[in-house]
Structure 1
Amino acid sequence: MSSSTSEVDLLIIGAGPAGLMAAAWASSCKLNARIIDEKDARVRTGQADGLHCRTLEIMDSFGSPSIAHEILGQACVIKEISSWAWYEDCIERSESIRSGEEDLLGSRYPQVSLCQGSVEQAFLNFLERDGDSIRIERNLTPLRLHVDQAQVGDHHAYPVEVHVQQLRDDELASPDQISDSKMTAVEIVRAKYVLGTDGAHSWTRKALGLRMEGDRTNKHFAVMDLIPLSDFPDIRISCVIHSLSGSIMTLPREGGLVRFYVQLGESSITGRDFDRSTVSADDIIKIARKIMHPYTLDYDHCDWFSVYTVGQRLAEIFSHHDRVFLAGDAVHTHSPTMGAGMNVSMQDSYNLVWKIVTAIRTGNRSILATYNTERLAVAKELMVKDRAMSDFYCDGPSVNSKSYQKFREDFRDFVSGVAVQYSPTILTSPVEKDPPEHKDIQQPHRQKISSMPSLATNLVLGQRIPSYLVTNHFTAEVVHLHSALKSTGHWRILLFPGTFSGRYVFERYCDLGQRLEAPNSFVRTCTPISAPIDSIIEVLTIHTDDRNDFDALSLPNIFHPWRADKGHQYWRIFAKDNDQGEDVYKAFGIYERIGCAVVVRPDQHVAYIGDLWDLESLGRFFENILALKNDERDRKGVNV
């Protein structure tokens, strides 16, 4: 058979939620990328269905209208969780708990439920709106993957070679079952980077020879989407139910559906006496009825059901030579009872793709190692918490089942996503200088930069920055801070100067701006010569004055950059908001008379907290990451 050859910066294998999140990043950053999938269409029924507040924040950061806006227009909001426990001879409600994710660490989104297919469609609609965007290439099957190790260190090279082939009809099969009669010619895709988001049976992971470590238990659950016919009073509220006959978790869904997770029981240690293929929807309902006694349960419509075995498995590493990466179920699988799988999977690829963009743009590939460091740690914590949650459902009535709120507090912040904290790396400065034994051996020339968290006591290095209301200085519009931190690939410096009421502070801040836009400033050295000054690093000001007390346009240009085709960038200067009762300075623990500088990564995580006037330390931090090689400095444009 004949073959053709193509080149691409990023090849994404798998078009589930994690792959689509990667495609959204690639599209926003105008990266030369492709996404392929063996399936002929998106998911229609079943699969994952829970979305937590951090995931919605991320979705909101892409485009306008945002993906989150479309999701919220369809989803079922989870406002309350009811805990039902066994008392004498039946189940009774033991607690009603407010979900409250929108109150966590400056978030503004609730927990919602929506079928995976609709989530995928929201991403597809975003990609469709994005003009010259990425389109999914379906029925395309990967056959071979090869990494040229001699070229992995050359940032101009395309060292990863993937052979792909397309089905001639809609029949799907695994690569080893596809006959030549169903295939077209082989295409050889040469890529700078490859991301495998192709699920628990990942072809990419197997092609790399990576193994999943972990265990499968002898405990089995059914998951079922149905329109229930029931007299159970909390049928439209998320519930955890424990009885002597087993456990159930429910999640209300769109269109009158309810998701049921039903404990089926245990098999022998070998599992040979349990055949999931023999379990029917009626079998699941019969067991659910016993658990929910004395309440009735029936159904007329079942949208989807499946059976799974409880277990947790984790890959030993998430990357190969920092050229081929894995995300989502391709590297971590667990039970669905915590509702974290789709969220963590999307957050994996959200963590990665902007780093690939930065590595391509700057030639600094050292930042790519942080993906494995940061996301492997999250996955390990996920395994621990999922095991605890699985035990909670499998162990039957217990103290925890009657005190669910207290039990839930141990994992709520993590599952919501807002408490994920990345450890110090080149991308996140430590609080103190590393001791000698922690020196970066691979990058000995890089200077370690220390943060000063005492200047913003309520911000946590490595966590995503919370979002509070601020007032646009020029338009008087009250907006969430996150609205200025869109997923475009930009780094942001948030400057908190306090008040400009004293002439000395205003003049000193003007001097700071002039130093930032000077030819030898790190902002310039990290930006291609002919590109706008805010192409890589955006500078935002958040002050405490009344908006009419001073002329913001008299500040240096870097605080409100001018573009001939767009005029001033009026979305870079804000006043702390008082009309709505919020004070971002107080929320962040910043003393107005001292102020500070906060660096926010492209993924909204806090990277550095320092003295407002210390541009030397700030510059060293950025130059460690973004300093361009000479050939990159001379480029005429930049894709961010």
Structure 2
Amino acid sequence: MTSVCLARYGITSVLTVDEKTAQIHAGQADGIQPRTLEVLQSLDLAHEVLTQGCQMHEVGFWNPTEDGAGIVRTAFVPDVAVPARYPHEVTIHQGRIERIFNEDLEKNGNKVQRGWKVSGWEFDYEDEEFPVVVKMSGQDMERVVRAKYLVGADGAHSTVRDGMGLKLVGDHTDHVWGVMDAVVKTDFPDIRKRCAIHSSTGSIMIIPRERISGNKVLTRIYCQMEDEVERDPTIAAPSTADPTAAKQQAKKRREKVTLERIISQSQKVLAPYTISFADIDWWAAYQIGQRATTKFSTADKNGVLRVHIAGDACHTHSPKAGQGMNVSMMDGFNLSWKLAHVLNGLSPAGADLIATYEHERLDIARQLIAFDTEFSSMFSGKIGAETGLTHEKFVKVFSTGSGFTSGCGIQYREGLLVAKQETTPSGAPESGLLIPGRRLMNVRTKRFADANPRDIHDDMPTSGRYRIVAALPTAFRTDPAAFQKVLEGLVETLPGRFPEGVVESVVVFPGERGSLEWTDFPACVRERSEWLVLGDHYGMVYKTWGVEESAGGVAVVRPDGYVGLVASALDAAVAEVGTYLEGVLRTV
């Protein structure tokens, strides 16, 4: 994701290496969350995922029967319980996501160089513009490169993280799980839905996958193996155990898990339903754990943050909430535009734009660890009076966590890129209200120029630009001349103070077109924002964003689609927006 976005932003001198000699062909992550789908759509990379992946719209919850001899469905709930452009998850092979990214990367002048492992890095100030010296091995040779910046997305055993002097801090639990992808034959009625199943003999999660050929469809099954392997107290309390010994014990416990045991345990949990497995594509065993680093970035001797980590290199957790690939990609999405602005000389002197990466994403990692700890613990527990875990508690955690797990409820804290909110934010973070730090919620509009129905996200693609979004009040319809000055300020004067093309303006008016004509808009709007004048024809914009039609409002949307500023009043918007943008962009 980082390399794809950097190429889109015009950064051509990027070396992307991967230790693997080929794309992933089996296993790994497979779930794409709604916010990730929005980002892929903004990159025009969502089509194959949406049309060929398996869409999950609801989740079936199954629990033990009263006599404990079987399982019974107790509820269907929406898979995504928050407002979203794509109100569902999609499962599709990670290898296909890699291929989509690789093809786009090559289209934009770069490619992944495979078979190279980063063996170490250090700062060397012989060349202070390129102070990061990276050592790599592969293809029977050694390689050394100098770089301005290094981004390590090299997994839980990250060499880049080790060079930063950082460790993943947290715990392993005593829960061992098996996972497999296979073509199944079963009379279980909800096999094509995501299911969370608690039985008296353990728990499993069913994740439907895409069709692979003809009528063959993959199904992923996560199966709790706790009763199948020897419990080890040193694993249950890793903070007091010797780390090396703990790792060895964990490996021994995982090695006790075999494919045959995963199949047998899955059959026990699903009884009295039957299930058989064919065309097993992949299987593995893992222990649930939640760990994260305390930092995501390291500075050189001059205080410039040069080295960064993302994804599993800085946070690991259980896979059942569908967060790993999503949070990792959003790390890269957040970092990439900030690196591009610095490299392209767009950020102002004295503004440490790159520092906001750790400020924002470390906070999200901590929330991820907290959620996953609660969710995975409840999923691994048994429902019943002896544990205190009830079906209602489990469903509540699942549903209330949907804002975070979907990615739609992420809210960044106040900082350089997130202006202070003068009033207490109302509504849940995923509600769609215009609040600094929250994503701009997609709304359906009609474009003025050609009466084309538009999703506003499609008119604000990922391109490294800030957008000034002006929602005009009702009075504009009857007296458009009264708003000429503020429109000229937002559409022409303000964007003209910054490097060309880095700021563009979106103009929204309430209701349908009615008697409005092109000449009712200032010439600068017609020239600079012809394709970005949108009417609230469907009545979604003001209602969703929480903007009073009688007052209107103005917001600045960051290059990653998050709201940076909401102006307090239309007549003061030009000054407020100008102050915000001067803090994050170089003036000309």
TM-score range for the pair, normalised by the shorter chain length: 0.7 to 0.9
Once residues 149 and 620 of structure 1 are traced to their aligned partners in structure 2, the CA distance between those partners, rounded to angstroms, is 36
Asked if the contact 2:474–2:551 (Cα under 8 Å) also holds between the matched residues in 1, the reply is no
Q: Determine if contact 2:475/2:550 at 8 Å carries over to the other structure.
A: no
Amino acid at match of 1:559: V
Match of 2:15 in 1: 34
**1:546 to 1:288, Cα distance in 2 relative to 1, 3 A:** closer
SS at match of 1:498: coil
Is 1:158 the counterpart of 2:130? The answer is yes
For 1:513 and 1:150, the matched residues in 2 are separated by: 51
User: What amino acid is the match of 2:103?
Assistant: N
RMSD of aligned residue pairs (Cα, Å): 2.4
Please name the residue that 2:88 is paired with. Answer: 110
User: 1:145 is matched with which residue: 121, 133, 136?
Assistant: 121
Structure 2 segments unaligned to the other structure (5+ residues): 212-216, 236-248, 300-304
Q: Which residue of 2 aligns with 1:637?
A: none
Instruction: Note if 1:316 corresponds to 2:294.
Output: yes
TM-score by length of 2: 0.88
2:281 match: 303
Q: Which residue of 1 aligns with 2:195?
A: 239
Provide the rounded CA distance (Å) in 2 between the counterparts of 1:204 and 1:362.
27
Letter in 1 for 2:224: Q
Q: Distance in 1 between matches of 2:566 and 2:525?
A: 19
Q: Alignment partner for residue 464 of structure 2, among 489, 493, 497?
A: 489
Q: Distance in 2 between matches of 1:558 and 1:601?
A: 22
Of stretches 265-274 and 201-210 in structure 1, the one that deviates more from structure 2 is 265-274
Query: Conserved in 1, the CA contact under 8 Å of 2:68 and 2:199?
Result: no
Is the 1:452–1:609 Cα contact (8 Å) retained in structure 2? no
Aligned counterpart for 1:72 among listed residues 38, 50, 58: 50
Matching of residues 30-429 of structure 1 within 5 Å: 30-32=10-12, 33-62=14-43, 66-87=44-65, 88-101=67-80, 104-128=82-106, 130=107, 132-148=108-124, 157-167=129-139, 182-183=140-141, 186-188=143-145, 190-255=146-211, 256-265=217-226, 267-271=231-235, 272=249, 274-321=252-299, 322-360=305-343, 361-364=345-348, 365-398=351-384, 400-403=389-392, 404-429=394-419
Give CA deviations for 1:172-210 in whole Å, capped at 9, x if unaligned: xxxxxxxxxx22x5242x222211111111111112221
CA contact (8 A) 1:99 1:111 kept: no
1:577 aligned partner: 537
Query: Structure 1 residue 149: deviation in Å?
Result: 6.9
| Amino acid paired to 1:135 | K
Percent identical residues: 30
Per-residue deviation, 1:547: 2.6
Q: Which moved more, 1:276-285 or 1:366-375?
A: 276-285
Give the C-alpha shift of residue 623 in structure 1. Answer: 0.3
Paired residues in the alignment total: 547
Say which SS state the counterpart of residue 144 (structure 1) adopts.
Answer: strand
The 2-side partners of 1:97 and 1:222 are apart by 25
Shift of 1:593: 1.9
SS in 1 for 2:584: helix
Matched, 1:626 2:585: yes
**Counterpart residue type for residue 270 of structure 1:** T
> CA 1:166/1:552 → structure 2, altered by over 3 Å: closer, same or farther?
farther
Letter paired with 1:337: K
Partners of 1:498 and 1:545 within 8 A in 2? no
Task: Quote how far apart the aligned CAs of 1:500 are.
Answer: 5.7
* Residue 434 (structure 2) aligns with: 459
CA distance change for structure 1 residues 106 and 525 in 2, over 3 Å: closer, same or farther?
same
- Distance in 1 (CA, whole Å) between partners of 2:74 and 2:456 is 35
**For residue 594 of structure 1, what is the aligned residue in structure 2?**
551
The letter for the 2-side match of 1:139 is G
| Aligned position for 2:515 | 549
TM-score by length of 1: 0.81
- 1:613 paired with 2:579, answer no
On the 8 A contact 1:421/1:463 being kept in 2, the answer is yes
- CA shift, 1:324, in A, is 0.9
SS of 1:542 mapped into structure 2? strand
Query: In structure 2, what is the Cα distance between the partners aligned to 1:134 and 1:427?
Result: 29
> Is the contact made by 2:23 and 2:95 (CA closer than 8 Å) also made in structure 1?
yes
> Could you say which residue in structure 1 is the equivalent of 2:302?
none
Change (3 A) 1:245 1:59: same
Partner letter of residue 57 of structure 2?
K
Code of the aligned partner of 1:373: H
**Cα 1:375–1:149 shift into 2, 3 Å:** farther
How far does the alpha carbon of each residue in 1:137-193 deviate from its partner, in whole angstroms, 9 at most, with x for none?
A: 1112223312257987xxxx22222233441xxxxxxxxxxxxxx22x5242x2222
C-alpha distance in 2, partners of 1:479/1:464?
A: 18
Alignment-derived partner of residue 5 in structure 1: none
Gap change, CA 1:488 and 1:67, over 3 Å in 2: same
TM-superposed CA distance for 1:401, in Å, is: 5.0
Structure 2 residue 494 is matched with structure 1 residue 513: no
SS at match of 1:158: coil
3-state SS of 2:416 partner = coil
- Rounded to whole Å, the distance in 1 between the matches of 2:584 and 2:468 is 14
Distance in 2 (alpha carbons) for counterparts of 1:141 and 1:30: 26
How far apart are residue 512 of structure 1 and its match?
A: 2.2
Q: Please give the alpha-carbon distance, in whole angstroms, between the structure 1 residues aligned to 2:225 and 2:425.
A: 53
1:174 corresponds in structure 2 to: none
Whole-angstrom distance in 1 between the partners of 2:281 and 2:426:
50
Q: Distance in 1 between matches of 2:100 and 2:64?
A: 41
Q: What displacement does 1:556 show? A: 3.4
Q: Structure 1 stretch 398-407 or stretch 469-478: which is displaced more?
A: 398-407
CA distance in 1, matches of 2:414, 2:328: 22
Q: Distance in 2 between matches of 1:597 and 1:452?
A: 16
List runs of 5+ in structure 1 lacking aligned partners.
1-20, 168-181, 433-449, 563-568, 634-640
CA distance in 2, matches of 1:38, 1:106: 36
Matched, 1:540 2:506: yes
Return the offset for 1:362: 2.5
Deviations 1:466-524 (A, max 9, x none): 111000111111111111121100000100112465664x2232222333466xx4422
Give CA deviations for 1:551-577 in whole Å, capped at 9, x if unaligned: 335633542445xxxxxx532100002
Name the stretch that deviates more: 280-289 or 327-336: 280-289
User: Aligned AA for 2:332?
Assistant: S
Distance, in Å, in 2 between the alignment partners of 1:95 and 1:478 is: 41
Tell me the alpha carbon deviations over residues 225-250 of structure 1, each in whole angstroms, 9 at most, x when there is no partner.
Answer: 11112221111111111112111011
Report the AA paired with residue 120 of structure 2.
R
How many angstroms does 1:363 deviate by?
A: 4.5
Residues 225 and 257 of structure 2 are in contact (CA less than 8 Å); yes or no, is this contact kept in structure 1?
no
Q: Is the 8 A contact 2:432 2:441 kept in 1?
A: no
